[in-house]
Structure 1
Amino acid sequence: MTQAIKLLTALPQAQRERLMELAEEVSFAEDARIFESGGTADRFWVIRSGAVSLDQEVTTRQRLTVATLGAGDLLGWSWLFPPYRWDFGAVAFSNVRAYEFDGPSVLALCVEDPLLGLSLVRTVAEILAHRLEATRGKLMDQYALRRRGPL
């Protein structure tokens, strides 16, 4: 499997510097819910330290963790695509420090600087493709375990 793509290191330096002008440092305590599936997606984060679990509600009482993100990882991409709603929920697995970006401000910057916009969209697409590949691998492993049945 390929190495995870990190948003800030994947962008060219000049574009990264322009994007970072919009960054705010934030923190989340362990077990803090960062966003809920279906909520308004108007921001994103780049995790500086700690871990975040992405989850999907299976029933009103059960959530399934679909991914765990760590330092350097992009948290949130739904701000980039209509209808701007979160596809998953996110909770701080440990104390988290992150850079937070306001989605509409970043979109306005992308309109102002189309090369930055293209680089950003391409990088987010690569990140999503990598995560999809990783999820596919996990699903295949689960399928193989279930087909074998109890030992």
Structure 2
Amino acid sequence: MLSNQDTLIQRITLRLNPRVCRVAVLPAPNDRERTQWYFQRYVSHLPAAGEIVLFDRSWYNRAGVEKVMGFCNDDQYEEFFRTVPEFERMLARSGIQLIKYWFSISDQEQNLRFLSRIHHLLRQMPRRERQKDYSRGPVPQEIIVPEIY
């Protein structure tokens, strides 16, 4: 099940040409990246002229997830807020149009979505328990993909 942010990104990119629009999804920083300038890992994903890049989790993770989950210390958090305005001004001066969206839902809506996910997973259990039965059946020849040499 996708989060609403993922669904929104899919809806935005659905009708866009993948040659000019891409989604940047950065995993958690590795040991090397943790020693670099915070914004460095994002720079290689920035768009060239005529391109659109949607960041699925942007550098603002530092202000939210990383702070809340203890992935950054107070000094790193404060440094982020000192440097992010200048970083974004640098992008703008370089010709990058930066559009930021903030998605927020109420606690009540978050609880409803959480319960819905649990219900969805519980409904999947009987099918999951029968996975071996599904995979045991014969495979019709017409759906077998031929080998490519």
- TM-score (normalizing by structure 2): 0.26
- TM-score (normalizing by structure 1): 0.26
- Give the structure, 1 or 2, with the largest relative contact order (CA under 8 Å, sep 6 or more): 1
Name the larger-Rg structure.
2
Which structure has more helix as a fraction of its residues?
Answer: 2
